[in-house]
Chains A and B, each alone.
Chain A
Amino acid sequence: MKQIPISLLTLVAGVVITLISIWVGQNHGLLPEQASEQAPLVDNLFNTMMIIATALFLVVEGALVAFMIMFRKREGDETDGEPIEGNLPLEAFWTAIPAIIVIGLGVYSVAVFQEMGGLNPGDHAVMAHGSPSTLVAQMPEGEPIAGDVMPLMAESEGTSSDEVRPYYGFGSPDQDQIKPADLVVNVTGMQYAWLFNYPGDNITTGELHVPVGRDVQLNLSAQDVIHSFWVPQFRLKQDAIPGLKTELRFVATKPGTYPVVCTELCGAYHGGMRSQVVVHPQEEFDQWLDENRVVAEQPVDSTVATNPADMSAIEFLAPVSQAMGIPTDALTHLHVAHDS
């Protein structure tokens, strides 16, 4: 070992660690499949961090284990180690390198966030008003307005009620050409179900159906407590908050059925608040719309409101546990029960 220069050993170790890290970053297999336009962006960022993290992990833990072995106390040796108190160049180095790495990651994640549409939720409405840079105050329609809340975010002059848009969430990924979404779905979170309402077609369902490759906008709201809408395969999540409207825009890229998960603790049966999103090819989606319009036209006034306090948890959850395709009248039950 003595004849090999230390710099050569370091170089070899560096190359090996780099190769291992890059391999791990590409092949960790920890993320679910990608099914939205945003997913590859997030995954690339995650994989980049995985490469850096693996390298740092190997370097730090490797040094740690090596030192543990090299510098263990030998039998009978009761002396102290060499008194090295510091090394300014070394300390400057290990302060500067992480600083550069995290600032680089910060810039990268800002770019990804922008590309995902994180920077312009709801501003397409403002665009119509001709001032894309104006921030819009979030004012829920038909509810008492907490106008003094978060004045930082509220530069509300020039906005009228018809163009009040959510300011929170993910908007159109397209920075320059902010255009209305192809499909708008109103999503309501309630204990313990998601309701999906297609406003143009008067359809309400318990699972989300969207066409592939189209720009979909979800307007999220919550009836009782905070819920959080997450599709792991889309890499997107947004809280549905009572009294606050939020938005999530995505383009699904792959037909299939994916889970919709509630990730914000919303009560005892929070874990049971699961639904799914079905991504259809366009024709199949049109067909689905047609079928459901017919169902929606049937009268629902035979519904009787019930008090959830009189129901057992099982009865209360029965509609939810049916998971797929909640019948409209059952939904009305839930609706009324929660309003009361």
Chain B
Amino acid sequence: MTQAEVPVGSQVYTEHHTTHKAWKWYDYFTFNIDHKVIGIQYLVTTFIFYLIGGLMAVAMRTELATPDPDFLDPNLYNAFLTNHGTIMIFMWIVPASIGGFGNYLVPLMIGARDMAFPKLNALAFWMVPPAGLLLMGSFFFGGAQAGWTSYPPLSEITANTAQSMWILSLVLAGTSSILGSVNFVVTLVKMRVPSQKWDQLPLFCWAIFATSILALVSTPVLAVGLGLLLFDINFGTAFFKPEAGGQVVMYQHLFWFYSHPAVYLMILPIFGIMSEVIPVHARKPIFGYKAIAYSSLAICLVGLFVWVHHMFTSGTPPWMRLFFTISTLIVAVPTGVKIFSWVATLWGGKIRYTSAMLFAIGLLIMFVLGGLSGVTLGTAPVDIHVHDTYYVVAHFHYVLFGGSVFGIYAGIYHWFPKMTGRMMNETLGRIHFALTLIGANLTFLPMHELGLKGMPRRVAMYDPQFAHINVICTIGAFILAFSTVPFIINAIWSWRYGKKAGGNPWNALTLEWTTDSPPIIENWEVLPVVTHGPYDYGMNGHSANGNGYGEAIPPEPSATR
């Protein structure tokens, strides 16, 4: 289907016969323009990057089991920490949650046959593998070593070729993100089935909408910062070189103007996944639909004005420290609204402890702690004490691992039947969950104390007084690494031999469950009509009584082909 053939705002589609109704395996390895194929391409590719980034983390934790740099060369250690951070953020969480789930689900949830610009969509995906290869390739040139923030002047004086590759990789990933975001905004505004009003939009779509706007505003600023850094390194300019009149702090403003909102780019789609998974498995309407939808937009807006809290100890004038203390704290309010709403959704529910639900609840457990430590980091006086220490490492791993990664897993367990047509094994899922929860807490909880007591981050060698706590963290990291094994076995085995899923195994009400599993090419034979809200559980007899758990609700035919 080309872009021109999609009549915007109409139920009736031009006749477009396809000779087959499903993609073959090799279609997933080509430039395919189907949003579902692209979504799965994103998820699988980024998961591979997750494993690579995870191995780097394990190597670093092995190094940190002892205070001396006896396992990794310190230069290699810095290359690992730089690439671990970069990969996890730019090659895993952002592309998996926005690119993977967003592409797969948004058209299905709004009753569209594809994204607004399918070719642009494929193009955006095909920027991700080369971006990852550039990062990996940088190891042949010593690896970028200046941290994922790559502050000059350090980034300008170490491993120049590798640093340039790092920059180009991020610019590629950023371009991909911008292309994807444009696509999501247009798709969500223009491609919904006419019967779907904004207040019937699944919350995941609201989250992707807010995310895309945020990405469109902030990503170009990162590109500017990185571009200037690239010029400084390779072409003799002096934007950030103090000895020639440049300003090193300016880079930090440009970098954090994107990279703080990047936190919301990572977490907002996950919030969306939570809002889909919890009502289905708790058999309850989501509590406070509008509050959750609007709080996504509020986070998107306020999130643009908090970046300086990363620079409280830098060259930041006092008024900035105060303004950004207040604005940072205010982000806690819409975030809190979401958390409370999810907890309230459980009230009076009939909670099914599926693997998806376990990961969703695990996310809540982890994220509350990450959010609370985030509030302490928002206040300038405390932030100044713990900035660039393991306290910060603990905080953002609670948010990004406990938040984003748990959410991605919840999403995979939830939508795996839709994507593959087969159920995942619940026993393996539970083992995976238990190992992940134990591993994550064992790894990241003790880090709070490390930071408060005085251990800086990004060090290959540290004061021996911190050795004991570091051993605990390292053991946790090994458990965390091992926790992926049952998941990988489960995913591969279930994809081939798992129990057949049927169209709607969870008896869910959003539109993606009204088609086959996996959905046919172009998603529906006949486009669905929205007759009820996305979360009307227990209402109008939709799935209560009689309508058993594990049955599909047939789509109501109204549109013709």
Contact = CB atoms under 8 A, between A and B. Distances in A.
B453 interface: yes
A78 B361 CA distance: 21
Nearest to B78: A268
Nearest to B455: A261
A49 B456 contact: no
B85 to A, nearest CB: 11
Nearest to A144: B245
A194 to B, nearest CB: 14
Given A72-B351, A113-B380, A237-B313, A81 B375 contact: no
Given A82-B538, A118-B318, A241-B315, A60 B454 contact: no
B485 interface: no
Given A71-B282, A80-B542, A110-B325, 15 more contacts: A60-B339, A64-B343, A73-B352, A79-B544, A83-B284, A102-B329, A103-B326, A121-B318, A168-B314, A226-B153, A228-B388, A263-B388, A265-B151, A271-B69, A271-B458
Interface stretch (A1-9, A90-98, A288-296, A329-337): A90-98
Contact of B453 (A30, A42, A83, A146): A30
* 6 residue pairs, one from A and one from B, having the closest CB atoms: A243-B242, A271-B459, A232-B454, A80-B538, A109-B379, A268-B74
Interface in A222-270: 224-226, 228, 230, 232, 235-239, 241-244, 246, 259, 261-270
B340 interface: yes
B248 A71 contact: no
A239 B315 contact: yes
Interface stretch (B164-172, B180-188, B363-371): B363-371
A83 B352 CA distance: 16
B349 A244 contact: no
B332 A268 contact: no
Nearest to B342: A64
Interface stretch (B94-102, B426-434, B460-468): B460-468
A81 B382 contact: no
A261 B456 contact: yes
Contacts of B322: 110, 113
Contacts of B456: 230, 261-263, 270-271
A45 B283 contact: no
A57 B389 CA distance: 23
A95 B292 CA distance: 12
A269 B348 contact: no
A68 to B, nearest CB: 7
A106 B480 CA distance: 36
A339 B244 CA distance: 15
A145 interface: yes
Interface size class of B (residues with CB under 8 A): 35 or more
Interface in A101-148: 102-103, 105-106, 108-110, 112-113, 116, 118-121, 135, 138, 143-146
A94 B336 contact: yes
Given A91-B288, A112-B381, A237-B384, A56 B461 contact: no
Interface in B319-347: 321-322, 325-326, 329-330, 332-333, 336-337, 339-341, 343-344, 346-347
Contacts of A95: 291, 333, 336-337
A85 B344 CA distance: 10
Contacts of A265: 78, 146-147, 151, 154, 388, 458
Contacts of A246: 315
Contacts of B337: 91, 94-95
B248 A243 contact: yes
A196 interface: no
21 contacts: A45-B382, A56-B368, A57-B372, A61-B365, A80-B283, A80-B538, A81-B538, A85-B286, A91-B288, A94-B336, A98-B336, A102-B329, A112-B381, A113-B318, A226-B314, A241-B249, A242-B243, A243-B246, A244-B315, A263-B313, A271-B461
B326 A106 contact: yes
Contacts of A110: 322, 325-326
A68 B347 CA distance: 9
A71 B348 contact: yes
B375 A53 contact: yes
A270 B288 CA distance: 48
Contacts of B388: 228, 237, 263-265
Interface of B: 69, 73-75, 77-78, 145-147, 151, 153-154, 157-158, 242-250, 282-291, 313-318, 321-322, 325-326, 329-330, 332-333, 336-337, 339-341, 343-344, 346-353, 361, 364-365, 368-369, 372-373, 375-376, 379-382, 384-385, 387-389, 448-449, 452-454, 456-463, 535-539, 542-545, 548-549
Contacts of A259: 454, 463
A102 B330 contact: yes
Given A83-B284, A168-B317, A242-B242, A271 B449 contact: no
A13 interface: no
Contacts of B243: 143-144, 242-243
Contacts of A238: 313, 384
Contacts of B74: 268-269, 271
Contacts of A263: 313, 387-389, 456-457
Interface string A53-81: 10011001101100110011110011111
B365 to A, nearest CB: 6
B185 to A, nearest CB: 27
A11 interface: no
A99 interface: yes
Contacts of A77: 350
Interface of A: 30-32, 41-42, 45-46, 49-50, 53, 56-57, 60-61, 63-64, 67-68, 71-74, 77-87, 90-91, 94-95, 98-99, 102-103, 105-106, 108-110, 112-113, 116, 118-121, 135, 138, 143-146, 149-150, 152-153, 167-168, 224-226, 228, 230, 232, 235-239, 241-244, 246, 259, 261-272, 274
A90 B75 CA distance: 54
A109 B322 CA distance: 9
Contacts of B291: 86, 91, 95
A57 B448 CA distance: 16
A106 B323 CA distance: 9
A79 to B, nearest CB: 5
Given A110-B322, A271-B462, A274-B463, A67 B332 contact: no
B531 to A, nearest CB: 16
A253 B250 CA distance: 36
B384 A106 contact: no
B318 A83 contact: no
B86 to A, nearest CB: 14
Given A57-B372, A81-B282, A264-B151, A106 B381 contact: no
B84 to A, nearest CB: 13
Contacts of A87: 287-288, 344
B380 A109 contact: yes
**Listed residue (A90, A109, A167, A236) with the most chain B CB atoms within 10 angstroms of its CB:** A109
Contact of B332 (A90, A98, A149, A228): A98
B352 to A, nearest CB: 5
A56 B309 CA distance: 23
B65 to A, nearest CB: 14
A110 B75 CA distance: 40
A243 B153 CA distance: 11
A281 to B, nearest CB: 24
A121 to B, nearest CB: 7
A80 B537 contact: yes
B284 A84 contact: yes
Contact of A268 (B145, B283, B351, B375): B145
B449 A30 contact: yes
Contacts of A46: 376, 382, 385
Contact of A167 (B145, B317, B365, B457): B317
B242 A81 contact: no
A83 B537 contact: yes
A236 B384 contact: yes
A60 B454 CA distance: 30
